[in-house]
Structure formats: structure tokens, C-alpha cells
Amino acid sequence: MANLNRKIGDVVLKVEGISLSFGGVKALQNISFDVREHEIRAIIGPNGAGKSSMLNCINGVYHPQEGEITYKGIKRHDVDTHEAAVNGIARTFQNLALFKGMSVLDNIMTGRNLKMKTGIFAQAFHLGPARAEEMKHREYVEKVIDFLEIQPYRKTPVGRLPYGLQKRVDLGRALAMEPTLLLLDEPMAGMNMEEKQDMCRFVMDVNDEFGTTIVLIEHDMGVVMDISDRVVVLDYGKKIGDGNPNEVRANPDVIKAYLGVSH
């Protein structure tokens, strides 16, 4: 289902020899892979394989003990979360981290926070420059709302929305950051078939329309194989496969990790 007009570019993100452990637990061991511009890159693997830990290393939530991360040509040992965000890395969360009592609009607006230049004082008193700035950002947020087709819920508190829509709001907030690299942590988990189809379409549209590079973690094999350009497979913190969906599907180690093997 790959888009014909989309051009996959050069490597934008490269992780080399990443190892991360929590005490005696080795979450990631010597992982290396790269992500090219405009591609949809999936990370798959059984529970506890280290997928979320990998994302957390990329955007600086975890600091790996070993290894290097190269993003936009700059090599770092560990990444700072703020720096990651400023450099255009946005993410969504597996267990949603939305402000349940706030409206959809306000939640997505928080995604614009980094782009706001006026101070807290000006914002609190809604002074001229702050107001002008808010209008500009509100317009962008409305574009996101339009893109994700959530107009009817603009003013609804997020906590009152069904799960599938909350996931969409979570994506909306990440999109509001105008990211160049979007990390999606199980965007389709817990969704029904129809919601999954919608979400797939949105992910592909984001990639297609804005040219955003996407790294996603997903359990649903159908989804992964359909929408990704390349797939990394992790198992117990080790990389056991890397390649396009067909290669990965045929990889004996991957089959073993997923289906088990007779002893």
C-alpha cells in the first residue's frame, strides 16, 4: 500500500549500539537501526521486548548506558527531552497522557506550547501580543482538528470521549507540534476494527501530506505489514530482525519469537 509519489530520503535518525538496563534487567542490548526521511518505520516484538524503552531513548525519557543516537546529523550519547521536542520529535503514548478534564481544543493547544513566545504574564492577562499569538496557534490547531475530523468534539472534555477518539486527540496534540519525526506508541491498541482503519488512514495521511517521518510500535501484525516501509523486530531486548515487511515475515528468528518453537 506504499504511496507511489512519496520519496524516501536519507537517514535522519540512527541509533547505534544502544544498551539500557534497569539494575539487573537488561531492557535493550546493543540495538542499532536507522530511520530514513519520510518513511514509516515499525518496531515490533512480543511483550517486554523493549519497544517502548527504545522510543523512550529516542526522545530522551530514558538515558541509555551505552550507545549513540544521531539525529539530523548530530551525534549524542543521550538526548534531553526538551531538546528532542524543540528539534521536532513528537510522540504519543501507549496509555494516553491527556488532560482528561480539559477540552479537545485545549489539549491539542498544549502541543503548541513550545512554539509560544510570549511570557506567562502576558498570557495570563491575555495582553495584545499574547492574544495575537493565541489566534495564530488556534488556527493551526483548527487545521489539526479538521485533519483528524474531530470537529464535533472540539469543546468536549477529553475524559468523556470514547477511547478511540482519545487516541486521535493524543495524535492531534503530537501533530500540533509540527513534528519532523513522530513516535507513535501503539496507536491502535484497544481499538475496534473500524477505529483501527481510521487510525491507519490518519497515520498514512500524516506521512503523505506533511511528509512526517514516523516510527511506530504496534502489535497488530496486519496493520504493521500494511503500512510500514521497514520493520525492526525486538525480542528480550535484542534485535532479531530488520527489513521490509516481506523479509521480516520470512525471517525464521521472527517466526520463532512470535510462534514459539517445538523443543
Partner 1 sequence: MQSGDTFPRLLLGHASARGEKPAMREKALGIWQTWSWARVAEQALTVAAGLAALGLKRGAHVAIIGDNRPTLYSAMMAVQALGAIPVPLYQDAVANEMAYVFRDAEIAFAIVEDQEQVDKVLELKLQCPMIAHIVYDDPRGLRHYTQTELTSFEQLLASGRAFGEKNPGHVKSEIDAQRADETAAMFYTSGTTGNPKGVVHTHASLIDRARVAVAFDKLTDAEDILAYLPPAWIGQNIFSYSMMLVAGFCVCCPESGATVTTDLKEIGPTYYFAPPRVFEGLLTQVSIRMEDASAIKRNMFHYFMGVAKRVGVPLLEGKSVGLADRLAYAAGNFLVYGPLKNNLGMSRVKCAYTAGEAIGPDLFDFYRSMGINLKQLYGSTETAVFVCMQPDGQVKSDTVGTPVSGVEIKFTEQGELLVKSPGLLREYYKNPTATAEVKTNDGFYRTGDAGFLDADGHLKIIDRAKDVGAMADGTLFAPKYIENKLKFFPYIKEAVVFGNARDKACAFINIDMQAVGNWAERKGLIYTGYVDLGSKDEVYGLIRECVEKVNADLAADAKLANSQIHRYLVLHKELDADDGELTRTSKVRRGFIGEKYQVLVDAFYSGKAVEHIETQVKFEDGRTGMVSADLRLAEAKTFSAAGAVKAA
Binding region for partner 1 (CB under 8 A) = 3-5, 138-139, 142-143, 145-146, 149, 151-152, 154-155, 205, 208-209
* Rg (the chain; Cα; Å): 19
**Least distance from partner 1 to the Cβ atom of residue 141, Å:** 8
CB of 42 to partner 1, least distance (A): 22
Give whichever of 83 and 208 is closer to partner 1, judged by the CB atom: 208
CA distance 156 to 168: 14
Smallest separation (angstroms) from partner 1 to the CB of 74: 33
Instruction: Tell me the torsion sign for CA atoms 139, 199, 149, 105.
Output: negative
Nearer to partner 1, 152 or 252 (CB): 152
Phi and psi at 213, nearest 5°, equal -80, 135
Cell numbers at residue 216, please?
Answer: 511506530
Q: Which is nearer to partner 1, 80 or 205 (CB)?
A: 205
Kindly tell me which of 76 and 160 has the beta carbon lying closer to partner 1: 160
**At 189, is the secondary structure helix, strand, or coil?**
coil
Cross-strand pairs, 239: 234
Taking the complex as a whole, how short is the minimal distance between the CB of residue 32 and partner 1, in angstroms? 34
Q: How far, in Å, CA of 9 to CA of 6, rounded?
A: 9
CB 169 within 8 A of CB 177: no
DSSP assignment of 115-172, as one string?
A: G--S-HHHHHTT-HHHHHHHHHHHHHHHHHHHHTT-GGGTTSBGGGS-HHHHHHHHHH
Q: How far is the CB of 104 from partner 1 (least distance, A)?
A: 11
Give me the least distance between CB of 211 and partner 1, in Å please. 12
CB 10, min distance to partner 1, A = 24
- Looking at the Cβ atoms of 18 and 145, the one nearer to partner 1 is 145
In the block, which residue shows the cell 495521511?
Answer: 205
User: Residue 19 or 156: which CB sits closer to partner 1?
Assistant: 156
Q: Which is nearer to partner 1, 62 or 202 (CB)?
A: 202
Burial 27-58 (b: 16+ CB within 10 A, else e): bbbebebbbbbbbbbbbbbeeebbbbbbbbbb
